[in-house]
Amino acid sequence: MSTNTSMYSQSSTLNAGQFNKKITIYSVEIVTDEDGFQSKQKTVVLKPFANVKTTRGYTLIANNSDFEKAYTRFLIRYPKTQITRDMLIDFNGKTYSIEYLNNVDEANAMLEIQAKEVEH
């Protein structure tokens, strides 16, 4: 009997058709132009297909108004390019900050990314 609690173990039957959402993972760097002004510049790191799920949500009360805060899980095939927590994800017109990275079962087959939507 296995004691693995991972949602997606090596023996999982997640097929290629379930990686059906295109996401963009990018880094943001501060660059200085020739006039000395600084601005943020996005650099695309990876554009994988992902399995996307909202994993949990909760309601926050701020300034007497309720709003939802949800975490989203992006599951991608394990990339050759290193993904770090200081990168951002664009998906469905929204931007997400990476909160947690998990090499599922340490198998270098799938990477689970837990992220939350960035407030603008």
* Cα–Cα distance for residue pair 10/90, rounded to 1 Å: 27
Domain spans, the chain:
16-117
Lowest mean pLDDT segment, chosen from 20-34, 49-63, 69-83: 49-63
pLDDT digits (tens, 9 = 90+) for 87-118: 999 999 999 999 999 999 999 999 999 999 99
Hey, which CATH number is domain 16-117, 2.40.10.270, 3.40.50.720, 1.25.40.80, 3.40.1190.20? 2.40.10.270
**Model pLDDT for residues 49-58, shown as the tens digit of each residue:** 999 998 765 5
Is 9 a residue whose pLDDT tops 90?
A: no
Per residue in 36-69, pLDDT tens?
999 999 999 999 999 999 876 555 555 544 455 6
Q: Tell how strand 65-77 and strand 49-62 pair up.
A: antiparallel
